[in-house]
């Protein structure tokens, strides 16, 4: 069967009758029979069971779409091994996220291989075999969600679920030329998932296109009252057109590519492709992100890995992979004091990062600095694995959303990927940015198949119908009145600056301290604003809170666009300090502390 397994292509073929789900399943099972289950699969749904499920499947948005799940995610009747045979047990209930997918008509093919207990970014730490890159059997597939990524790249399923704590939903995507969506923590329920670090885990989605990943996320997401870490997003996953002038952050410091000049070259080209899409490229300080990344394995969060399997580790330590055992059991030395100290350090780094987020709407990094041969990883398993997490480990610790997308190929034929990251619940916007950038590649193919990306549809977008309002002072992110926005489910859109002609003042005798923005035609302008959006009811209640002499007017931004914004009555600035030269409230506050 020569047809792409991307969701849009299959759905169209089913709708027109040119292909049936039965034919797709037959082809997949025939391939598995010929190629063998190992090392991609740990268990496969029996063919007869899959066909029975297809017959009973609801004709929802994923009807007849084949998928796989990482084998730390429960499926009733199939063993959950976490890559450790002695740990295996067969659950009676399916994980929430898999239930949602099957209720939408998707057909589960099986459970995939992984780095044992989801501990690793390499894909070599499993007794069920070592999945290799879909492009070269000598090279690693990436982990821990190794089998899921290879199954998608190889055209065995349309999409697959992984998990992502340190980068396991992104690194394998980069090494196999596919998309890896790492949702905001809690957006997808983790009920029925064996945790690695429960406070930091998220289910991830591997797909052939950003549009497919977004479609699966739409189905799989949703608040789950049975999952304590489930979170309701402040708004739906609205896919809006890529705005002109979206600010994409690039580290000001030179990055470490572990000697891989090809990753460096392709990362640079990815940045230029974003510029070509109308994005503004801005520099930011990567230091707080880099320091947070180091905490995941050198800090106390390793103790969460031990907490997840403590009884089993105490009872059967010899059953655990040697490298994984060394990492997990090493957590026995971590004290409760160290846990709190680590949390304090992370909070400080996250606060430092807020200043960098004020400069950018999203950031782009190499997904991994390089890749390695399987033999090299087996010879040096800890150091090389650590290298692969340089640009992924901080994302969940800092509560970020992320999407990994292909960025082209090295001269040796191995793929390179980049990751676009945003703040929590920026998932939809990142998918639109990633989709646009992915489609700027020349003659790009889906995974390791011969199918062209150009034959698949882009993410369908529609303009927002919500009201945008620009804030300039106490309502900015991290400032004392920002809660008035968050409690109304307002969504951060972007940071921008006013046009010229505006003056900016620190008002006297206000609690909390507030600024006043005035148009007098004389000011330098270019004052930092954050633009938020909310529905009309929330906007009305928000405006009702605004005290005199402030009010809502219309401000012109530096790009000529106009938006509702806090403005101040002229009389109130007569005895106020003119702080226009500082260019924004946060900068002025920082100058007072210096």
The model's pLDDT over 476-510, given as tens digits with 9 standing for 90+, comes to 998 999 999 988 878 788 899 999 999 999 999 99
Angle at 322 between CA 172 and CA 385, to 5 degrees: 30
- At 500 the pLDDT is 96
Query: Do the first three CATH levels of 7-455 and 467-593 match, i.e. the same topology?
Result: no
Sheet hosting strand 562-568, strand order edge to edge: 491-497, 528-534, 467-471, 562-568, 550-556
The model's pLDDT over 240-278, given as tens digits with 9 standing for 90+, comes to 899 888 999 999 999 999 999 999 999 999 999 999 999
What mean pLDDT do residues 205-217 have? Answer: 98
What mean pLDDT do residues 355-366 have? Answer: 93
373 tagged catalytic: no
Q: Is the pLDDT of residue 235 over 80?
A: no
- At 299 the pLDDT is 87
- At 234 the pLDDT is 72
Q: Percentage of residues in the chain with pLDDT exceeding 70?
A: 99
- At 538 the pLDDT is 86
- At 136 the pLDDT is 98
335 tagged catalytic: no
How many Å apart are CA 494 and CA 515, to the nearest integer? Answer: 20
The model's pLDDT over 413-425, given as tens digits with 9 standing for 90+, comes to 999 999 999 999 9
Average pLDDT, the chain: 95
How many Å apart are CA 120 and CA 20, to the nearest integer? Answer: 38
Catalytic residue among 132, 148, 158, 168: 168
- At 238 the pLDDT is 83
The topology (CATH level 3) of 467-593 is Hypothetical upf0131 protein ytfp (3.10.490)
- At 537 the pLDDT is 83
Q: Is the pLDDT of residue 1 over 60?
A: no
- At 594 the pLDDT is 65
Q: Is the pLDDT of residue 194 over 60?
A: yes
Catalytic residue among 4, 43, 70, 503: 70
CA-CA-CA-CA dihedral for 476, 293, 208, 177, to nearest 10 = 130
> Exposed, middle or buried: residue 376 (CB in 10 Å: 0-12, 13-18, 19+)?
middle
The model's pLDDT over 64-109, given as tens digits with 9 standing for 90+, comes to 999 999 999 999 999 999 999 999 999 999 999 999 999 999 999 9
In the block, residue with structure tokens 């999407």: 403
506: nearest Cα among 395, 591, 420: 591
Give the length of the chain.
594
Catalytic residue among 4, 132, 141, 144: 144
The model's pLDDT over 155-186, given as tens digits with 9 standing for 90+, comes to 999 999 999 999 999 999 999 999 999 999 99
CATH number belonging to the domain at 7-455, selected among 3.30.930.10, 3.80.10.10, 3.60.40.10, 3.90.1300.10: 3.90.1300.10
Tally: H helices and E strands in the chain: 19, 21
Kind of pairing between the strands at 467-471 and 562-568? parallel
The domain ranges of the chain are: 7-455, 467-593
The model's pLDDT over 100-131, given as tens digits with 9 standing for 90+, comes to 999 999 999 999 999 999 999 999 999 999 99
Q: Percentage of residues in the chain with pLDDT exceeding 90?
A: 91
**Which residues are CB-contacts of 315 (< 8 A; sequence separation ≥ 6)?**
none
70 tagged catalytic: yes
């Amino acid at each position: 069967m020569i047809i792409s397994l991307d969701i849009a292509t299959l759905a169209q073929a089913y709708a027109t009758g040119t292909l049936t789900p039965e034919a797709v399943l037959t082809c997949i099972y025939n391939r598995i029979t010929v190629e063998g289950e190992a090392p991609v699969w740990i268990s496969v749904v029996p063919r007869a069971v899959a066909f029975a499920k297809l017959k009973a499947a609801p004709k929802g948005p994923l009807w007849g779409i084949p998928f796989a799940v990482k084998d730390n995610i429960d499926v009733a009747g199939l063993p959950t091994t976490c890559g450790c045979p002695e740990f295996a047990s067969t659950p009676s209930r399916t994980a929430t996220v898999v239930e949602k997918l099957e209720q939408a008509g998707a057909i589960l093919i099986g459970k995939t291989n992984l780095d044992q207990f989801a501990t690793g970014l390499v894909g070599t730490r499993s007794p069920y075999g070592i999945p290799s890159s879909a492009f070269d059997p000598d090279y690693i597939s990436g982990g821990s969600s190794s089998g899921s990524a290879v199954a998608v790249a190889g055209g065995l399923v349309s999409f697959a679920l992984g998990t992502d704590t340190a980068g396991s939903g992104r690194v394998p995507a980069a090494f196999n030329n596919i998309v890896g969506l790492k949702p905001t923590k809690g957006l997808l329920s983790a009920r029925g998932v064996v945790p690695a670090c429960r406070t930091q885990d998220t289910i991830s989605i591997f797909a052939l296109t950003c549009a497919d990943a977004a479609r699966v996320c739409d189905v799989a997401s949703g608040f789950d009252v049975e999952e304590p870490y489930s979170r309701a997003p402040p708004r739906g996953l609205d896919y809006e057109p890529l705005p002109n002038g979206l600010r994409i952050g690039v580290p000001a410091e030179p990055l470490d590519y572990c000697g891989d000049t090809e990753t460096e070259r392709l990362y640079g080209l990815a940045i230029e492709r974003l510029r070509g899409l109308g994005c503004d490229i801005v520099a930011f300080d990567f230091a707080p992100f880099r320091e947070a990344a180091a905490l995941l394995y050198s800090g106390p969060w390793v103790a969460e890995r031990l907490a997840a399997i403590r009884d089993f580790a105490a009872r059967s330590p010899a059953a655990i992979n040697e490298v994984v055992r060394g990492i997990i059991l090493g957590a026995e030395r971590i004290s409760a004091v160290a846990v709190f100290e680590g949390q304090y350090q992370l909070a400080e780094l996250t606060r430092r990062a807020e200043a960098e987020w004020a400069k950018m709407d999203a950031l782009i990094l190499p997904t991994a600095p390089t890749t390695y041969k399987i033999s090299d990883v087996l010879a040096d398993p800890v150091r090389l694995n650590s290298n692969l997490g340089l640009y992924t480990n901080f994302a969940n610790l800092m509560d970020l959303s992320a999407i990994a997308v292909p960025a082209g190929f090295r001269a040796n034929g191995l793929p390179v990927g980049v990751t676009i990251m945003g703040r929590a619940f920026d998932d939809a916007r990142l998918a639109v940015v990633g989709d646009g950038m992915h489609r700027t590649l020349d003659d790009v193919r889906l995974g390791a198949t011969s199918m062209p990306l150009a034959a698949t549809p882009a993410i369908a977008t529609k303009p927002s119908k919500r009201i945008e309002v620009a804030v300039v002072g106490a309502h900015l992110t991290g400032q004392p009145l920002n809660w008035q926005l968050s409690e109304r489910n307002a969504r951060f859109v972007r940071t921008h600056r006013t046009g010229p002609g505006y003056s900016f003042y620190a008002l006297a005798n206000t609690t909390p301290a507030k600024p006043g923005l005035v148009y007098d035609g004389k000011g330098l302008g270019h004052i930092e604003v954050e633009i938020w959006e909310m529905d009309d009811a929330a906007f009305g209640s928000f405006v009702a809170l605004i005290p005199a002499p402030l009010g809502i007017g219309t401000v012109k931004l530096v790009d000529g666009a106009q938006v509702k914004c806090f403005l101040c009555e002229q009389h109130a600035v007569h005895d106020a300090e003119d702080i226009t030269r500082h260019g924004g409230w946060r900068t002025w506050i920082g100058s007072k502390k210096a």
